[in-house]
Amino acid sequence: MPDASDASAVEAVFRAEYGRAVSVLVRFLGDIDLAEEAVQDAFITALGKWPEAGVPPSPAGWIITTARNRAIDRLRRESSRDARHAEAARLYAPDAPAEEGPVRDDRLRLIFTCCHPALALQAQVALTLRLLGGLGTAQIARAFLVPEPTLAQRLVRAKAKIRHAGIPYRVPRDADLPDRLNGVLAVVYLIFNEGYTGDPALCAEAVRLGRLLAELMPDEPEVTGLLGLMLLVEARRPARQDEDGALVPLPEQDRGLWDRDLIFEGQDLVRRCLRRNRPGPYQIQAAINAVHSDAPTAGATDWGQILCLYDQLMAVAPSPVVALNRAVAVAEVEGPGKALDLVDALDLGTYHVLHAVRADLLRRLGRPTEAVREYEAAAELTESPAERAHLEQRSRDLTR
């Protein structure tokens, strides 16, 4: 049996390379399930071989080659028709011509091919997250604020529709890109958000994909807006935790630790969006974060401007989560009582941020007993250890 260090090495490669491996195999095989199974088999094989033979110089290449060979062997074993044998032979050919198209990056290519307009938007996003990042069903369900069984059914239906409708997995043409853009942007942003509260590598991957998108579609303002948004949020990472790993809320962060280069780049992208005057949800969110980044101190934040931007965001992309964030701005402009009325009208019962916001408002209104209950509810619902510790500390502070 491999020891813990061996398993950790394979797990690290899995986190870093699963999406790339699946995207390459999907391109070769044109079959989601077969690609996933082949990659998973390759990682199981690695768990058995690497402890004795050592981690290969190119772990990702080893996984992809092993997965491809496993898939070909399976096709040959299960095939009784010449067409399947021919397919296996084609895949074995080392000099098979690469499929041409505007999208050259394998992972970005997989996002565009998964975001087919024949699938519902949420199905596009959920399926791509599952394939790209190796994100579990539970993680994706949290992102969509839906029960895990509901999300699992959506994934099954999406794969079945692709299979039964004969939707091809191929490089989209230039003309196909705009129709798939909403799903692509949603995928990249959800990858970023998943990393924001957990794995920084996911944030780095989302930013990388955002930069590729900006090169591919420089005239799409929402692409520019999303990249600007991610850069401005990522700029605050160095100040989000203290030396002990405890979460530091935005108002309490040392702004001297913020990455000024990312802020300047993000603000420049926001200015480019403003010049185009075609506002969309990612551009507006980027503008909100640009206002935060402009303030030298938390007390100098222009909350009036932020509230106006949230009003605009509610007009173009209304949702309960946007309404919750708007309520935070209302608390700063009109007071916590007004904001609490807005929060209480929202149906986000299992969303931990709702309880955390409500707790802060109750604390500010001098209602500590109720605030403690809300902090405890938020701590139970969050999946982030750092957030849980922070919420539990807030609760303890009120009971001293």
Identify any residues that bridge with 312 across adjacent strands, giving them in sequence order: none
Say which amino acid occupies 232.
L
Number of Cβ within a 10 Å radius of residue 203: 21
Query: For the chain, how are helix, strand and coil distributed in percent, rounded to 5?
Result: 75, 0, 25
Write the DSSP symbol of residue 55: -
Calculate mean pLDDT across residues 48-71.
87
pLDDT in tens, 104-139: 577 777 777 778 777 777 777 777 777 765 667 777
> Is the Cβ–Cβ distance between 92 and 76 less than 8 Å?
no
Q: Could you read off the pLDDT of 98-111 as tens digits, one per residue? A: 444 555 577 777 77
At 185-239, the pLDDT tens digits run 988 898 898 888 777 888 898 899 899 899 888 999 999 999 999 999 999 999 9
Q: Can you give the pLDDT at residue 96? A: 42
Map residue 241 onto helix, strand or coil: strand
For residue 247, the cross-strand partners are 241
Q: Name the DSSP letter for residue 247.
A: B
Please tell me whether the overall predicted TM-score, pTM, comes out greater than 0.85 for this model: no
Question: How far lies 227's CA from each of 167, 194, 197, 295, in Å?
Answer: 30, 16, 18, 21
Concatenating the DSSP letter of every residue in 89-148 gives HHHH-TTPPPPPSS--SHHHHHHHHH--TTS-HHHHHHHHHHHHS---HHHHHHHHTS-H
| pLDDT band at 355; cut points 50, 70, 90 | very high
Specify the range with the lowest mean pLDDT, choosing from 6-10, 98-102, 141-145, 174-178: 98-102
Give 181: exposed, middle or buried? Use CB within 10 Å, 0-12, 13-18, 19+: middle
The answer on pLDDT for 1 being more than 60 is: no
